[in-house]
Structure 1
């Protein structure tokens, strides 16, 4: 008995090797795998692939092709269904895990927000203390300036003014007119 690789069948039918693999899966065609994991077929299965190719060339859809009196395609591998109770129990377990994760995520988010608020609060406290220090320094500087100004005023000689003294000169009349004198 001769075993043929996917490539050998695709060459004989003049189709792409992936087409042969797709037909194998869709129609559940028996095959073996070699040591490299490649599909290998028996010589007699070429007729099955040729039949599929002929039906497709006639315009039939893959789901409408029947073998040996079948009206529907054969399922490649039927996976047994899980009992409803087992499915519901597993689903309930998953939902509980999802709820736990959501709660942990919410707690983590709250912790992060609390940490950020504490950090902002400490930064604000630092800024307030810095502002208080600056206020004290400004008050000290203001006090020193007041003292310097007072000392400067005390040191300057006073000019004596004579309030009754009237300016003399040709412009005296004009000055009186405008009330400058």
Structure 2
């Protein structure tokens, strides 16, 4: 059925029929010349659009009535594909997060090893200083203080 025939059946302008097809994304077939070729189902869909338009309701609600099972199946397929992609992205994200955590742990381990080496060097230095300090105290203790009378006499006779 041609656009003009459908327009006469509905009592509207042929451009209105074309506008509804595009506006409400109806799946109408075209012939080899690119003109719409309407089936009875298409005419019924257009009648539903016309009723809804006459009731004052615009595009809202019309789309849900017009969408057929094929469109629903296509949407479901796209939704499933998107869901599988989201799941795959979540898996990859978790994998990358695990790799990052492992890398960070290794870096922290290297830092801890470096700090441990510095601590060992500091402990060695402290031990050396303590040993030197003990040696100095022992040298001072082994040197006995000269008797007071000796220091007094050397002070008198020193020129």
TM-score (norm 1): 0.44
More helix by share: 2
Higher alpha-carbon Rg = 1
